[in-house]
């Protein structure tokens, strides 16, 4: 596609439930990133994929968070046993390579609300 | 450690210049960026500057970098109502891919 697509755009879930957030990067972009933006804050890095593998998952806050990119294109961020503190906008970005950020394209994000 | 700080809010009149400031702490930053975020939209890269430059101009945008003081600014000339948004500065380390963002400055342009 022309840009990075994220679905759903909004997700409301109950505390304790499982959610999946999807990111469809720009075709041909090998690098894919997930960031989390809490209210009133700047985005914070979660995980970086180069191809199918997670090259850096140091930003994932705990083991309830997991992300996959099985075919090197679409990625899914999975959150188990959601907590109210997980409420945020989850942003995905992709780039042609993994070096530098001049070529990052961000999606519009998924706003997750845990009630 | 990595820390990027910005003032929270700026209000200007349409047609005036806006200056948004940012300070960062890590001297190994390679690139510094300005992103714009409008409601419900993703982050749009406005401009960036390499750490060995002092200034970069791109149409209405001027970026100034004071590496000694670790201070970055974004000047928007002839500010328009469409410039109302949240502006984030961000840094990236040498050979890295991880963006470190500030908390954002909300710019309000009054008619």
Chain A contact for B30 (CB, 8 A cutoff): yes
Chain A contact for B41 (CB, 8 A cutoff): yes
Tell me what pLDDT residue A101 has.
67
Tell me what pLDDT residue A22 has.
98
Per-residue pLDDT tens digits for B17-50 = 999 999 998 777 788 999 999 987 889 999 999 8
Q: Are strands B105-110 and B9-13 parallel, antiparallel or unpaired?
A: parallel
Q: Is B14 helix (H, G, I), strand (E, B) or coil?
A: coil
Q: Look-up: residue for tokens 């041909």?
A: A28
Per-residue pLDDT tens digits for A58-106 = 999 999 999 999 999 999 999 999 999 999 999 999 998 766 667 789 9
CB-based contact B104 A4, cutoff 8 Å:
no
Residue of chain B whose alpha carbon sits nearest to that of A38: B103
Per-residue pLDDT tens digits for B69-102 = 999 999 999 999 999 999 999 998 766 788 899 9
CB neighbourhood size of B13 (10 A)? 10
Tell me what pLDDT residue B1 has.
47
Residue of chain B whose alpha carbon sits nearest to that of A5: B42
Out of B4, B31, B43, whose CB is closest to A100? B31
Of all residues in chain A, what percent carry a pLDDT higher than 90? 86
């Amino acid at each position: 596609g022309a840009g990075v697509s994220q679905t759903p755009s909004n997700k409301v879930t109950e505390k304790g439930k499982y959610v999946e957030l999807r990111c469809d990067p720009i075709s041909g972009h090998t690098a894919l990133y997930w960031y989390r933006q809490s209210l009133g804050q700047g985005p914070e890095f979660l995980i970086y994929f180069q191809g199918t593998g997670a090259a850096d998952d140091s930003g994932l806050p705990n083991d309830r968070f997991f992300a996959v990119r099985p075919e090197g294109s679409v990625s899914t961020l999975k959150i188990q046993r959601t907590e109210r503190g997980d409420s945020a906008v989850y942003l995905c970005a992709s780039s042609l390579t993994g070096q530098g950020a001049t070529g990052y394209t961000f999606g519009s994000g998924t706003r997750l609300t845990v009630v | 450690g990595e820390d990027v700080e910005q003032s929270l809010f700026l209000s200007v009149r349409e047609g005036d210049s806006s200056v948004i400031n940012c300070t960062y702490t890590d001297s190994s930053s390679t690139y510094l960026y300005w992103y714009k975020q409008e409601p419900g939209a993703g982050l749009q890269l406005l401009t960036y500057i390499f750490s060995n430059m002092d200034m970069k101009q791109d149409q209405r945008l001027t970026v100034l970098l004071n590496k000694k003081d670790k201070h970055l600014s974004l000047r928007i000339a002839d500010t328009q109502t469409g410039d109302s948004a949240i502006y984030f500065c961000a840094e990236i380390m040498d050979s890295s891919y991880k963006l470190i963002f500030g908390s954002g400055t909300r710019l309000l342009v009054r008619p």
